[in-house]
């Protein structure tokens, strides 16, 4: 298998943009990082370690694959915000809808895994998991929880039941759903970026500079304040 076979489906289009638009010169690091992490996640075949039981390695394989995939997924959203901080898609890393009713039911029913994830979760991650249990959050909350459990060194295949074949399969299935999401989001963003590059005045293209980061942060704060005012107004009407 060639290395290029592991790239996101539309990586060649990104390379074409980089060749044809001088505006992107020196601004490609974040998307190149996403492509590298995506390739590693897609090419991951498992852990080879002596003296460990196959069931234990199976659990580690699944959660490590999911962590690698989530790292690519997370990096994609970072890359989009860094390159065009003023342009937002209709979804973000917390709300992008990944739904699979059977898989959602399986994770909600796995009380041991949910308990383990919630025990190690903090603040926003815990809220995502509780919302998922209540049926109002995308399955990405499980991916986020498992990623944190592995990355923060609290992973235990037995405690999370990842050493069971069916659970390992479910975690792997979630990882592949996230990879598919990366392909879809990447393609969607490249379509948007094409418009930005071809008509920078109309779209008000902003390069990656400290000033643009500050403007983006200010814009997010302003949106947050407006959203709070709308909620207050709604409460008064009710």
| Rounded-to-integer distance, Cα 170 and Cα 24, Å | 39
Tell me: pLDDT of 223 over 70. no
Confidence of residue 70 (pLDDT cuts 50, 70, 90): very high
Which pLDDT band holds residue 65 (cuts at 50, 70, 90)?
Answer: very high
Q: Is the pLDDT of residue 237 over 50?
A: no
User: How many angstroms separate the CA atoms of 111 and 161, rounded?
Assistant: 10
Question: For residue 66, what pLDDT band results from cuts at 50, 70 and 90?
Answer: very high
- Is the pLDDT confidence value at 201 over 60? no
By percentage, how much of the chain surpasses pLDDT 70?
A: 78
Mean pLDDT (whole number) for 78-107: 82
What residue ranges do the domains of the chain occupy?
Answer: 3-207
**Higher pLDDT, residue 77 or 154:** 77
Q: pLDDT-based confidence at 138, cuts 50/70/90?
A: confident
Mean of all residue pLDDT scores within the chain: 80
Q: What is the model's pLDDT at position 136?
A: 76
- pLDDT digit string, tens, across residues 18-29: 999 888 888 899
Q: What is the pLDDT of residue 174?
A: 94
Q: What is the mean pLDDT of residues 164-171?
A: 89
For the chain, percent of residues with pLDDT exceeding 90: 32
Reply yes or no on whether the pLDDT at 103 is more than 70: yes
pLDDT given at position 217: 56
Given this model, what pLDDT does residue 209 score?
A: 41
Lowest mean pLDDT among 63-67, 116-120, 168-172, 213-217: 213-217
* pLDDT for the residue 2: 78
């Amino acid at each position: 298998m060639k290395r290029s076979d592991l790239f996101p489906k539309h990586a060649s289009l990104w390379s074409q943009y980089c060749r044809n638009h001088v505006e992107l010169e020196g601004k490609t690091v974040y998307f190149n990082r996403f492509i590298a992490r995506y390739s590693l996640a897609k090419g991951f075949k498992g852990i080879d370690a002596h003296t460990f039981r196959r069931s234990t390695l199976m659990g580690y394989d699944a959660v490590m694959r999911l962590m690698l995939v989530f790292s690519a997924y997370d990096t994609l959203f970072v890359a989009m915000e860094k390159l065009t901080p003023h342009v937002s898609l209709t979804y973000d890393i917390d709300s992008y809808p990944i739904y699979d009713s059977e898989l959602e039911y399986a994770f909600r029913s796995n009380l041991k895994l949910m308990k383990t994830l919630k025990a190690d979760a903090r603040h926003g991650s815990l809220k995502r998991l509780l919302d998922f249990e209540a049926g109002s959050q995308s399955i990405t909350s499980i991916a986020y929880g498992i990623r944190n459990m592995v990355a923060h060194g609290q992973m235990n295949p037995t405690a999370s039941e990842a050493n069971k074949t069916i659970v390992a399969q479910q975690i792997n299935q979630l990882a592949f759903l996230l990879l598919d999401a990366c392909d879809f989001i990447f393609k969607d963003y490249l379509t948007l970026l094409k418009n930005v590059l071809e008509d920078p005045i109309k779209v008000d293209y902003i390069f990656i500079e400290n000033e643009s980061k500050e403007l983006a942060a200010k814009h997010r704060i302003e949106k947050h304040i407006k959203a709070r005012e709308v909620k207050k107004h709604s409460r008064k009407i009710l």
